[in-house]
Amino acid sequence: MTDLKNAYDSGVEIAWCPGCGNFAILKALKDALARLDLPPHRVLLCSGIGQAPKLPHYAHVNTFDGLHGREVSAATGAKIAAGDLTVIVHAGDGGAYGEGGNHFIHAIRRNIDITLIVHDNKYYGLTKGQASPTGEQGTAVGLQPGGIVSSPLNPLALAISQSCGFVAQGASHDADGLSALIVEAVRHRGFSLLNVLQPCVTWDRAHTYAYYRENCYRLDGEYDPFDRSRAFDLVTMDSEKIPLGVIYRQKRADWHEAASRGSRDQPRDRTVDPARVHELFGMFR
């Protein structure tokens, strides 16, 4: 591994709430990129709007900030155009599973070779603490003081049900374990989901650091992530204990393998006739 310890520092002042789990997630990402020996110019971080999507601002790599919930679609386009880039998406649970839920499902179906890291704190933290799709039923929040009416989305179960090739869960209080999971997720060839549990120190008084330390546990070496039925049972059982680690994995051809038929041509490198571009734009005048 080359010396990349400080290569990813952007120098931008961080604007998260003091104590936010995003600090640890940022550190874990930088550590993982260094362990992967990826120079900054070979990495693209895609994000949208929110607290979690601020993360690319604080890393010295290529970045694309798009619309809220559209991070995965932007990352898909980038990966198709430049398949040799390492493309990682950072999204909040609201953007990834709410507004971007359809993009999430179809990225699994296509098996595009990108890594989706979801900062799951059960709230829309930037817009005053509304409940996200993973918010627990009955929890009192600002717009639903009588308690959340809808049942929570289970993104891990959804991903496993759709045969996602890599499904994992980490936690912001376990930065070393999270860094190792990011390395595995990026190395996986195909779509990878890494759900990261973190407390919202501003809006959530129940799911604190103490709560996650008490209830989370790492999966041991006896657990077989290739057993789909066991993985599905693990993430749907009624238990206070929360598994961390690789929940499910399988090998199947990713989008590039299926679509390229052996060609290594990168659409990014194809020449474009400027006259043809002007002609096309002229059609919309």
Q: 182-210 burial string, b = 16+ CB within 10 Å, else e?
A: bbbbbebebbbbbbbbbbbbbbbeebebe
> Rounded to an integer, what distance in angstroms lies between the CA atom of residue 257 and that of residue 259?
6
Q: DSSP secondary-structure letter at 48?
A: -
Q: Which residue has the higher pLDDT, 47 or 69?
A: 47
- Greater confidence, 33 or 140? 33
Q: According to the model, what pLDDT value does residue 145 have?
A: 78
Q: What is residue 141's predicted lDDT score, i.e. its pLDDT?
A: 77
State the average pLDDT for the chain.
90
HEC states along 250-281? CCCCCHHHHHHCCCCCCHHHCCCCHHHHHHHH
Give residue 277's pLDDT.
81
For domain 22-282, the CATH class is alpha beta
Measure Cα distances from 66 to 20, 80, 139, 143, 259 in Å.
23, 17, 31, 27, 26
How high is the pLDDT of residue 240?
86
Q: Is 110 or 68 the better-scoring residue by pLDDT?
A: 110
Q: What is the mean pLDDT of residues 75-86?
A: 93
Better-scored residue on pLDDT, 241 or 66: 241
The helix (H) or strand (E) run that includes residue 155 is helix 155-161
Alpha-carbon distance of 220 to 211, in angstroms, equals: 21
Query: What does the domain layout of the chain look like in residue ranges?
Result: 22-282
Please list, in sequence order, all residues whose beta carbon lies within 8 angstroms of the beta carbon of residue 129, skipping any fewer than 6 positions away: 123, 141, 142, 200, 202, 203
pLDDT of residue 274: 80
- What pLDDT is recorded for position 263? 62
| CA 159 to chain centroid | 13
Find residue 50's DSSP bridge partners: none
For the stretch 222-273, pLDDT in tens is: 999 999 999 999 999 988 899 999 999 999 989 888 887 656 667 776 777 7
What are the angstrom distances between the C-alpha of 217 and each of 8, 12, 156, 231, 284?
30, 34, 16, 15, 56
Q: Which residues of 159-180 are buried (b: 16+ CB within 10 A; e: fewer)?
A: bbeeebbbbbbbbbbbbebbbb
Of residues 169 and 140, which shows the higher confidence score?
169
Question: Which of 34-43, 56-65, 144-153 is predicted with the least confidence, judged by mean pLDDT?
Answer: 144-153
Q: Is 70 exceeded by the pLDDT of residue 121?
A: yes
pLDDT at 2 over 70: no
pLDDT at 179 over 80: yes
For residue 177, what pLDDT is reported? 96
